[in-house]
Structure 1
Amino acid sequence: MPSKFFQMKSATIKAALIFFLLFSTLTFVNAQEIIKDSVVAVAKADVPSGKKLKIDGVVATVGDYIILDSDIDKGFLEIKSQGGSTADVTRCQVLGTLLEQKLYAHQAVQDSIIVSDAEVKGMMDERLTYMLEQAGTIDKIVKFYQKDSEEEFRTYFFDVLKEQKLTSEMTKKIIEKVEITPEEVREFFKKIPVADLPVFGAELEVAQIVIKPKVTDEDKKRVIDKLNGFRKECLEGASFATKAVLYSEDPGSSKNGGYYKMTRKTPFVKEFKDVAFSLAEGEISEPFETQYGFHIIYVEKIKGQEVELRHILIAPTVVQQSLKEAKEKITLIRKKILDKEITFAEAAKTMSDEKETRANGGALVNPKTQDTHFELTNMDPSIYSQVSNLKDNEISMPFLEDVQGKKDYKIMIVTNRIDSHTADYAKDYIKIKDLALKEKQIKAIAKWFDTKIKDTYIKIVDEYHDCPFTSNWLKK
């Protein structure tokens, strides 16, 4: 049962949680356009006598953006489409969320935050791929969004995603400089009533040893020659993006024509970043190797410290003999550990092929929390399936992991098990720090809203003047 303390905290951002379920239309108007109150009319042919039909109209303006009454309806539709319940969601809450979204987007434009069409198209292609997997056909998607054609839907969806990206970038800008000190974390924890301390679920600490099948020089040369061929064709005028869609093996970018936008802080492998930032605008790299395979990079645009690029990744094919040798090697490593000739951590440091975990004795780091604890209920299914039935310090049997065609042999071990428990300041400092930081970020966003609402043209029709908005949209 959630504590009252955290229920009160979550209530202040309920609208913000609704936001992530919403897609709303993007419509520009003159900032000083006068909004007429909601219009009602009698439709004699279609509406029974005595009934009134509400005409879709503008219910609010935020800067250069408007919100239609139908946008609120679409908000409810989107919540349901994502499996959410609308039982406790009011039209006022949805409108409040849309007002926030429009203010974010409006201010992003004012602050010269740029979202490129290529980036939005990449997002759209990725979302559509997922939607097609769920719906089956584009016609069903078009019908669901009540559009007359695929072209109309794509135009609508492009605008929706562009506004969402502007909103996301504006939010990042607001909170990017928000930091938390140890003293602030301590004060945050002290003010939580003992009865309301959060309960953290059962957690595991896990380590692994990875053996990568060897790739022959002949296989590497075959891939390098193929990439050099693509490079030559692109230098002669062929589309790099099309080549990436057709041939790249990077699941994160191939559908988007290999597109990435990155800075030196973007968490890509060093070899990739070194090449990306050594190229001039319009230049295509020679083939180079990372742990994922071989790449070529084409730099589309350089904006200060930010690079927009496309890349093609191809991994050499692993032959069956190499897989057999990798399995034999990891089986022998497991036997040596069981025979106590070497510890798991020592074996990981000296024999594992995974350099990211090797130095820490094979210990896995949770990408969400940046510590070594994995909460059972939120653990990656690929990890959970291998360790859920292991006892403490029991070593799994060797297994082959195949991720997007990249094959490795692994063994895993549970090095520590932490039962479900009430928050402890010393043991759970990182989690408590994260909660404290989130609270501080929410306060920074609230302060930003207070300032920007005062400085921005906002108009809301009378029908919604009684809404209990969490922000001062009515400027009372």
Structure 2
Amino acid sequence: MKSLIKTMVFALMAIGFQILQAQEIINDEEKKVEVKTPVKLGNRIKADGVAAVVGDYIILDSDLDRRIDQLEVQGADLSEVTRCQLFGSLLEEKLYAHQAIQDSIIVNELQMRSQTEQQIQSFLAQPNVDGIEDLLEIFKKDNEADLREEMYEINKNRALSSQMREKIIADIEITPEEVRQFYNELKEDGLPTFGTELNVANIVIIPEVTEEAKQDAVDRLKEMRTDILENGASFNTKALFYSMDGSKNNGGKLGVMNRKNPRMVKEFRDVVFSMQEGDISEPFETDFGYHIVWLEAIRGQDYEVRHILLRPELSQEAIQKAKDEIDEVRQKLIEGKITFAEAAREFSDEEETKFEGGKLTNPLTQDFNFELTKMEPEIYAQIQDLEDGEISEVLEDGDRLNPFKFKLVTVTNRIDEHEADFSRDYLKIKRLALQSKHFDAVGEWQEETIMSTYIKINGEYRSCEFTSNWLKNE
């Protein structure tokens, strides 16, 4: 099972990148200086030393404790994970982030700010977190603004690391013969068992926003723009009070956009890159709603922007109309007047699924199979009490593009737990084989990059038994 174990380790390594620590950047002349920074621990003060240096990044002694606190907030089971293993993951993260910067990789600032807000709300929803004060304690921050900035840096580092890994494996492909060889290697040690899998389909009806509601959002943005330009009102304050996304807490600040790697929706970047420094745009539409943008500054290829986002208000009439429509669709399904696939193609408003008869695609495997034990909690909650082919009651749902929508779900097929079969499970086996090649490529890259990057491990961590050559055979 050597190849399978290697693949599983690769998957766990990828999961480990989901929570990254805040960074500190040091100059070349500082790399050999073990700075001591006081850190408050309850009523005591402990000197926070430099545990390691990786390229232009340092890892403080406190970073590992903070990593553990954050994983525990998410409910992770750390009973079989050692401190040395977690420290090794920190070293890997910094190595990826350092090399990403060397390779001029740029992250999506808007996405990072939005993700930061979503993560804070997710943390606050955890049963073991008692309000924002708990998060401030975990992150050792004095206020929410500092907390958001640190989490933004965490997400930025995560994105840099992720994009660096993607760059390493981007051109790696696998042939059918390599897949067969991988499968034969698995057979020698015993084939893995795949758990019960389900095919899930849905029909989604989205309440229609009226033209009046759209125009009202546009008019409100125009009024804000006029007040700012003619009366000197604060853009930041209006964003704080009225904007409908996570950037509101930073006065609408989205960070830096770059012409070389804009990574924004087309409508947004078209507006920003046509503006002059200091301009405030007219209202414009994206999938997220209606915006006005203030281009604060242009620094070479970098554009510093803020925005205010308004989403048109849904009327009760529109919501009721959508509810009546999906009730009617469900009745037709119950009476057998139409199949679920036919109803999805005819009535569903979800473009991603309607032309597949409503079937959901598993984002991990890119097929229609969802392993029952690994299904997203949201999907599982919607189908857990359904028999195969049974139509759910009307469900209320929502996302960041459509905060309110109605849904019907059904289980269209069930595949019982079984030993891996080459023909039946080819896509899964191919994915495992490709991950194995990715693992090898990442290992080779990491080995080479460690040797060419300045790395210094201090104190107790020098006695760790790392799987990678972080000590460079010292």
- Shift of residue 453 of structure 1? 1.6
The CA deviation string for residues 8-64 of structure 1, in whole angstroms up to 9 with x for no partner, is 54457766655545536525253675478x9xxxxxxxxxxxxxxx97544433333
- Shift of residue 164 of structure 1? 4.1
Tell me the equivalent position of 1:110: 102
* SS of equivalent residue, structure 2 residue 424: coil
User: What aligned pairs does 1:191-230 form with structure 2 within 5 A after superposition?
Assistant: 191-193=185-187, 196-230=190-224
Tell me the equivalent position of 1:318: 315
User: What aligned pairs does 1:51-62 form with structure 2 within 5 A after superposition?
Assistant: 57-62=49-54
TM-score scaled to structure 1, two decimals?
Answer: 0.76
Instruction: Establish whether residue 280 from structure 1 lines up as the match of residue 273 from structure 2.
Output: yes
**Number of corresponding residues:** 453
- Shift of residue 181 of structure 1? 3.6
- 8 Å contact from structure 1 (residues 15, 96) kept in 2: no
> Bigger radius of gyration, 1 or 2?
1
* 2: CA distance, partners of 1:126 / 1:201: 31
Q: 1:253 to 1:357 in 2, by over 3 A?
A: farther
- 8 Å contact from structure 2 (residues 217, 290) kept in 1: no
The CA deviation string for residues 55-105 of structure 1, in whole angstroms up to 9 with x for no partner, is 754443333333344444444444444434444433433332232223223
Instruction: Establish whether residue 6 from structure 1 lines up as the match of residue 1 from structure 2.
Output: no
* 2: CA distance, partners of 1:328 / 1:448: 57
- 8 Å contact from structure 1 (residues 276, 299) kept in 2: no
Structure 1 gaps of 5+ residues are 39-53
The CA deviation string for residues 225-259 of structure 1, in whole angstroms up to 9 with x for no partner, is 22333444466565656545533445x76556374
Match for 1:188 among 164, 182, 205? 182
Tell me the equivalent position of 2:40: none
Match for 1:411 among 408, 413, 416? 408
Q: 1:334 to 1:112 in 2, by over 3 A?
A: closer
* SS of equivalent residue, structure 2 residue 201: strand
- Structure 1 residues 114-123 or 307-316, which shifts more? 114-123
Tell me the equivalent position of 2:419: 422
The CA deviation string for residues 201-228 of structure 1, in whole angstroms up to 9 with x for no partner, is 2222222333334444433433332233
* SS of equivalent residue, structure 1 residue 474: coil
Instruction: Establish whether residue 371 from structure 1 lines up as the match of residue 371 from structure 2.
Output: no
Tell me the equivalent position of 2:24: 26
The CA deviation string for residues 259-318 of structure 1, in whole angstroms up to 9 with x for no partner, is 4979999999xxx6356436534363544375x6x4225385799899978461413322
- 8 Å contact from structure 1 (residues 227, 287) kept in 2: no
* 2: CA distance, partners of 1:217 / 1:118: 27
Structure 2 gaps of 5+ residues are 37-45
Tell me the equivalent position of 1:67: 59
* 2: CA distance, partners of 1:309 / 1:150: 19
Q: 1:180 to 1:328 in 2, by over 3 A?
A: same
Tell me the equivalent position of 2:166: 172
1:336 is matched by which residue type in structure 2? K
Instruction: Establish whether residue 247 from structure 1 lines up as the match of residue 242 from structure 2.
Output: yes
* SS of equivalent residue, structure 2 residue 291: strand
* 2: CA distance, partners of 1:437 / 1:129: 35
* 2: CA distance, partners of 1:364 / 1:83: 28
CA RMSD of aligned residues (A): 4.4
2:241 is matched by which residue type in structure 1? L
* SS of equivalent residue, structure 1 residue 191: helix
Q: 1:253 to 1:388 in 2, by over 3 A?
A: farther
1:108 is matched by which residue type in structure 2? A
The CA deviation string for residues 122-160 of structure 1, in whole angstroms up to 9 with x for no partner, is 655554444455544444434344567778767766655
- 8 Å contact from structure 2 (residues 242, 308) kept in 1: no
* 2: CA distance, partners of 1:220 / 1:152: 35
2:212 is matched by which residue type in structure 1? E
- 8 Å contact from structure 2 (residues 388, 414) kept in 1: yes
Match for 1:334 among 327, 330, 351? 330
Tell me the equivalent position of 2:42: none
TM-score scaled to structure 2, two decimals?
Answer: 0.76
The CA deviation string for residues 171-218 of structure 1, in whole angstroms up to 9 with x for no partner, is 333233333343333332232126532322222222233333444443
Q: 1:463 to 1:420 in 2, by over 3 A?
A: same
- 8 Å contact from structure 1 (residues 298, 309) kept in 2: yes
* SS of equivalent residue, structure 1 residue 193: helix
Q: 1:474 to 1:303 in 2, by over 3 A?
A: same
How much identity, in percent, do the aligned residues show? 40
* 2: CA distance, partners of 1:12 / 1:355: 33
* 1: CA distance, partners of 2:26 / 2:472: 22
* SS of equivalent residue, structure 1 residue 167: helix
Tell me the equivalent position of 1:359: 355
* SS of equivalent residue, structure 2 residue 365: coil
- Structure 1 residues 404-413 or 300-309, which shifts more? 300-309
User: What aligned pairs does 1:362-401 form with structure 2 within 5 A after superposition?
Assistant: 362-401=358-397
* 2: CA distance, partners of 1:58 / 1:263: 36
* 2: CA distance, partners of 1:456 / 1:35: 17
* 2: CA distance, partners of 1:211 / 1:116: 31
- Shift of residue 406 of structure 1? 3.4
- Structure 1 residues 303-312 or 219-228, which shifts more? 303-312
- Structure 1 residues 442-451 or 420-429, which shifts more? 420-429
The CA deviation string for residues 424-460 of structure 1, in whole angstroms up to 9 with x for no partner, is 2333233223222322222222111122122122233
* SS of equivalent residue, structure 2 residue 52: strand
- 8 Å contact from structure 1 (residues 302, 308) kept in 2: no
